[in-house]
Structure formats: C-alpha cells, structure tokens
A and B are shown apart, each in its own frame.
Chain A
C-alpha cells in the first residue's frame, strides 16, 4: 500500500522543520562556543587599537572604512567612477559629512 500524498507532505514538512530546529540549536551551540574566540579577538583589537574589519583590502577607504575621509571615495575629482567593486558594496560611514567642530 502506497502512502497518501498528505502523509508525504507532513513527513517532508516535519523533516524540514526538524532540520530548521537542529540548525537553530547549532546556531546556539556555535554562538556559545565562539564567545571565547570573540573575547580573544576583542582583546586583540584592544591591545593593537584596531578600528576596522579586514573585509576589503582593495583601497584604503574600504580597508579602514571608519577612517575614510571626505575625498578619497571620489578619487579626488568629481564624477569619477568608482574604481573598486567593494566601493559599491559597502556604504560610506554615516558620519562622513558630520563634524565635531563647534557650530558657529
């Protein structure tokens, strides 16, 4: 006797839900296990006084995003096309045009 379609549907959905549950457990276990590594990385950041993630090593303004200035993203002249693919992927720092200078 072959199983009914509804049985197959319930089994497939149940298997996928179980898989999703296992992945949620995996995420929890990995996050807990990684805490120590992340703490060590934070210590490295503190001791070396690092400011940025090493995500894009193409250009200085994408390597050190938080230290990017007003001019380099435009490659020194207006209407210049972006040279590097990562420049179009990462958003510029939100405070790029803000200044700590006292308002007149």
Chain B
C-alpha cells in the first residue's frame, strides 16, 4: 500500500512538473475552466436560493386572488362580487384588496401603494418600503409628497419604515389608509383592485376557483399554488437570458473537451514516447493523464464553486445586479439565505470534472498503446 501511494505521488510530481513547463497554456485553461464553473455555479446558487426563499415566504400569500377582466384588461372589481363569492360553499372569507401603482416622475421609479386591512398609523401617515426610503433619503418623521390622480400634490408623514430584512417583498411598498388611498388614486367607493379568498379546505381551491368563474365569467382566479409555481419557474433553465449564459458556457466547455479529445499535440506524443522508451508502462501513462485531468478540473471546480458561493452570498450577487436591475431605478438590496442543493453541486461536478478527466485519458491511451519507436520517429 505505501508503495502504491508513493508511486502515485511520484506520478503527481511528474505530472505537475510537466504542467508547469507549459505555464501559459495551462494557466489560461485553469482560468477559463474556473470562470465557466463560477458562472454556472453562481446562476445555480442564485436561482435555487431565490426559489427556496420565494417558496417559504409566499406560503403566506392569499389562497385565492380573484381579479376582474374588462375589455381584455384588468379592471377594478365591484365589491358586490365579494358577497356573491361568499355564497360559494367552502369559502370562509372574502376581502377586498385596494392597491395600485404610482410612477414617481422625479426619481423615475415605480412604487406599489397598498391599503392594508388593518392600518393603525393615523391620518396623513404612511409606512414606506426601505427601498424607497433609501432612494429618496426619506426617513421616519419626514414628510414626503406624491401627486394624486387629480394632479394635486399631497403631503404624507412617514411614520414607519418597513423592515430592511423584508426588502425582497416590500422594497417598493407604500402603505396608507384605505380612505386616503381612494381619494389619492381616484378609485371610487364600491370598487376594489381585487379580492382575496380564505377557503375552508385547501384541497378544494381548484374547485372553488372553477365555481367562481362559473358564477362570475369576467373574473380570473389565481390560486396560491399558481403563485408558487410562478417563482419556481421564474429562472427556468430554458428561459430568457439564462439559456444564453448556459449555452455560451456549455459551448466553451465543449470546445475544451473537443480540443482535448481530438488528439494530443506532437510534443505531448513525444513525451509519451520517451516515457515508454525509458520504461513507463501504459498504466503509468494513463495514471499520469488521469492526474493531469484531475488536477486541472478538480482545482478549477473547487475554486469556481467557492468563488460562486462568495459572490452570491457574501457580495449579494454583485455581478448579476446590473442584469437583474435592468432599467429599474428602485431595486431591493436583498441578502439571500444560502439554501444549497447538494444534488445540483453533484450534477455540476459530474458535468465538468468527469468529462474533462475522461477526455484527457482517452487520446493518451491511444498514444500510449502505440510503439514508442514509431511515436518518436513520427
């Protein structure tokens, strides 16, 4: 056993010395390989953590949201619909939600204004999302003004800043009393933005949604499971920019693998010929090539994965931020909880380390089985 170990150590010594002789080429290979793993692992960590967090917090979302469509668009829903829906067996409670958007022309940002059911901050007072607070440098006790639907400017006192930790959900939120919001937005009494339903038996959500549509054909119910599915499919592997990132990374990796698998350079063949001529066995050469592939791919994999973790969970995905922000002026500065999926890391390992190591060994095996004399003469 110690002899085998010592033999492998000697092979590793030789392999690393050989790799270091071609510093430039192997250094570039290591850098690009690490970068590919870094990008793939960053996307993987980010999307998984975001999906997990969304699945956890959105468990508290309404069981059913009922919207109304008019002329093919969303329209405010009459509050009398609530009484009709309440009559459906299995519906425990129906509540009107009053909310809407506000475009801030000064900061060119969009806010979401909501009038919660229980609002205790008093007249003229509002609660502000921490994203808006940061952007407008408006803090508790300050006065802030917004222009209402009638074109008149209204002043509100900031009585509360929503918790920083909930930025992923509340960065752009403004909470105000319902009567004030109706007056501010021009939403007439008797109309709501949408309705939320509480249902006795969660297994009946789809049946109740179907009954709502049958009763009110202009309504569109969205059940909680659908909300959760939205965030599960948000950054799917097949959608949007991710497919471009993935295909670029996979293509780069295929080029690597192809370069390796398509054959060895004349210098490498000569090296194998000399090693065989001085007494190395085919198995020793295969071990050497195995360690060569392993050294490059394992260190790149580990370095890429560690850097990706630091990038996502220590720097809040700073490199992805410009892509995610898009044209948004208001963007939450959230810190993701590091939910890790070991299965995904294992997949990344088998998709990067194993193919590379195999493609390093196969051409060497071909070269190692040829007579050293003919290799040296060619």
Chain A contact residues, CB within 8 Å of chain B: 4-6, 8-9, 12-13, 16-17, 19-20, 23-24, 26-27, 30-31, 34, 37-38, 40-60, 63-67, 69-71, 84-86, 88-91, 93-95, 99-102
Contact = CB atoms under 8 A, between A and B. Distances in A.
B226 A38 contact: no
24 contacts: A9-B16, A12-B299, A16-B303, A20-B305, A23-B309, A27-B313, A30-B338, A34-B337, A43-B60, A48-B116, A51-B65, A53-B54, A53-B231, A55-B168, A55-B324, A57-B329, A63-B110, A66-B230, A88-B241, A90-B234, A90-B240, A95-B222, A95-B230, A102-B210
Given A38-B56, A51-B62, 4 more contacts: A53-B231, A91-B240, A93-B230, A101-B213
A21 B193 CA distance: 49
For the complex of A and B, list the 9 residue pairs with the smallest distance between their C-beta atoms, beginning with the closest: A85-B326, A46-B60, A5-B16, A45-B60, A91-B239, A100-B209, A27-B338, A6-B12, A16-B302
A14 to B, nearest CB: 10
Given A31-B337, A90-B240, A57 B109 contact: yes
A42 B302 contact: no
B116 A42 contact: no
Nearest to A48: B116
Contacts of B276: none
Contacts of B57: 38, 41-42, 45
Interface stretch (B69-77, B83-91, B253-261, B369-377): B69-77
B338 A91 contact: no
B351 to A, nearest CB: 18
Contact of A71 (B73, B171, B196, B302): B73
Contacts of A53: 50, 54, 58, 168-169, 231
A54 B60 CA distance: 15
Contact of A91 (B50, B212, B236): B236
B326 A86 contact: yes
Interface stretch (B148-156, B159-167, B179-187): B159-167
A71 B171 CA distance: 26
A101 B211 CA distance: 8
Nearest to B322: A85
Nearest to A60: B101
B306 A94 contact: no
B340 A67 contact: no
Given A31-B339, A63-B172, A69-B69, A93 B166 contact: no
B33 interface: no
A42 B306 contact: no
Contacts of B340: 24, 27
B293 interface: no
Nearest to B320: A89
A37 to B, nearest CB: 5
Interface string B258-278: 000000000000000000000
A87 to B, nearest CB: 8
A78 B62 CA distance: 33
Nearest to B214: A102
B13 interface: yes
Interface string B195-220: 01000000000100110111001001
B136 interface: no
B330 interface: yes
A25 to B, nearest CB: 11
Contact of B169 (A41, A59, A88): A41
Contact of B298 (A13, A40, A93): A13
B210 A89 contact: no
B299 A16 contact: yes
A49 to B, nearest CB: 5
Contacts of A100: 206, 209-210, 212-213, 220-221, 223
B170 interface: yes
A76 to B, nearest CB: 9
B306 A23 contact: yes
Nearest to A8: B16
A81 to B, nearest CB: 14
